[in-house]
Structure 1
Amino acid sequence: MECRTGCAACCIVISISSPIPGMPEGKPAGVRCVQLTDDNRCRLFGKPERPAVCGSLAASIEMCGSADEDAFRILGELEKATAPESGHDR
């Protein structure tokens, strides 16, 4: 499966603990990555400064579903299920 151009669910919904240029502490869940363009394309795609974790994500039907809305829902559920307990609801 190929990524859907302009979806960017993985660049918005999930948390990324690795430093990202412009986000040295990583990216919290639900926060739009600063490297996304207005049309939801990664400015770092194919560049060496792109975090390894971003490059390791691979689109799949299980993660992305069949539409952008599916990806936001599925990734949101996965993020919630794997987030460390913080003592309060997210």
Structure 2
Amino acid sequence: MNSRTSSPQPAQCRAGCGACCIAPSITSPIPGMPNGKPAGVRCVQLSDDNLCKLFGEPSRPAVCENFNFDGEICGEHRVQALATIAWLESSTA
């Protein structure tokens, strides 16, 4: 494939990261967390492998469904993602 004709592939979530299921507060109900979750609290639907147990399920909250990987937010690894999302959460609270 010629680099002039190929378009860059969109970045994907890192399997096992889970930062978006820990760092932000979620105010909508989550199965098992009817009042949502506070910032910094691990979602009960996050597996031990840091994968969403509700991924692809209709019960997955819209806020979770709409959260997409963004290199500027998620950084190059999980620690950066946790720090950036926590900083965004605290600066918009």
TM-score (norm 2): 0.87
Structure 1 stretches of 5 or more lacking a match?
84-90
Map of 2:79 onto structure 1? 69
Map of 1:38 onto structure 2? 48
Question: Which portions of structure 1, spanning 4 or more consecutive aligned residues, are displaced by more than 6 angstroms?
Answer: none
Query: Deviations for 1:19-43, whole angstroms, at most 9, x for unmatched residues?
Result: 0000000010010000011111111
- Partner-residue secondary structure (3-state), 2:30: coil
Map of 1:16 onto structure 2? 26
TM-score (norm 1): 0.90
Q: Does 1:52 align with 2:62?
A: yes
Once superposed, what is the RMSD of the aligned Cα atoms?
0.6
Structure 2 stretches of 5 or more lacking a match?
1-10
